[in-house]
């Protein structure tokens, strides 16, 4: 991204994780975290479970909208709410990144559509179904195509009907509280790391086909191989 290459944006590069957290749709939970700071690469240590949680589209009473709620609830003051929760970050960078995400991120678009429905009919019960069983590459296993809004999620008025076993249903209100995202879902990473997956690509999925395969026994990309390539 050109913003990161600009010398004048040293603050953006330094606090990139904080900027990502400001726009993340889901929250992260770990049992134990440790940091090792030294002259070399900083080490991020996790013991126990590491997973992402997703909540309702509306915040609880007297709380500012957080995570995906920022895109849905009080959309007029979205920028102000995000700045209030991240006072140490540049308001100009926050505004620019929000504009970019609004233009190319399919998850932002589906939540904005839900917000429009709320504004039109405040009493309507609406859910969002984040799908997990879609075929990556729009059916062509040899070519990657960025997912569209309709492929990553759908807005369901009223009570949701039949959905997949691993589909995530986002309620308008918290209801049963936070729910755990399935790590096998292609939306698992893009929802937590929107700036890392800025080009609208999906994360790892069990349907991800291995190309230029030299080993006839393998046809799918393993989770370990995917993240090894992503981190290089």
Number of domains in the chain: 1
Please tell me what DSSP assigns to residue 40. S
Q: pLDDT in tens for each of the 232 residues of the chain?
A: 666 666 667 888 888 889 999 999 998 887 666 666 667 666 667 777 778 888 888 887 777 888 888 888 877 888 888 999 899 999 999 999 999 998 889 899 888 888 888 888 888 888 888 887 665 544 454 455 667 777 788 888 877 777 766 788 888 776 666 888 888 788 888 999 998 887 777 888 777 777 766 666 667 777 888 777 776 6
- The DSSP H or E segment spanning 154 is strand 153-157
**Signed CA dihedral, 73, 79, 85, 86: sign only:** positive
Residue 219 and residue 210 in contact, taking contact as beta carbons nearer than 8 Å: yes
Structural domain boundaries enclosing 150: 2-230
Give the Cα separation of 27 and 65 in Å (integer): 13
**CB burial string 155-167: b at 16+ within 10 A, e below:** bbeeebeebeeeb
Task: In whole angstroms, give the CA distance from residue 155 to residue 113.
Answer: 8
């Amino acid at each position: 991204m050109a913003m990161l290459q600009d010398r004048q944006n040293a603050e953006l590069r330094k606090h990139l994780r904080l900027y990502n957290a400001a726009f993340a749709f889901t929250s992260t939970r770990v049992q134990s975290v440790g940091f090792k700071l030294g002259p070399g690469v900083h080490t991020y240590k996790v013991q126990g479970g590491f997973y992402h949680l997703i909540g309702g589209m509306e915040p609880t009473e007297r709380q500012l909208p957080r995570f995906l709620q920022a895109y849905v609830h009080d959309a007029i003051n979205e920028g102000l709410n995000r700045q209030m929760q991240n006072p140490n970050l540049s308001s100009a960078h926050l505004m620019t990144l929000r504009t970019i995400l609004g233009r190319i991120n399919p998850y932002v678009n589906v939540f904005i559509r839900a917000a429009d429905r709320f504004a039109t009919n405040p009493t309507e019960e609406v859910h969002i179904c984040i799908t997990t069983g879609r075929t990556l590459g729009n059916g062509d296993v040899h070519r990657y195509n960025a997912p569209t809004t309709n492929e990553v999620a759908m807005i369901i008025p009223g009570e949701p009907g039949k959905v997949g076993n691993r589909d995530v249903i986002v309620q308008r209100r918290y209801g049963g509280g936070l729910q755990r995202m399935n790590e096998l879902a292609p939306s698992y990473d893009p929802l937590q790391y929107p700036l890392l997956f800025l080009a609208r690509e999906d994360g790892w999925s069990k349907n991800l086909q291995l190309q230029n395969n030299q080993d006839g026994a393998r046809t799918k990309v393993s989770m370990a191989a995917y993240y090894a390539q992503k981190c290089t």
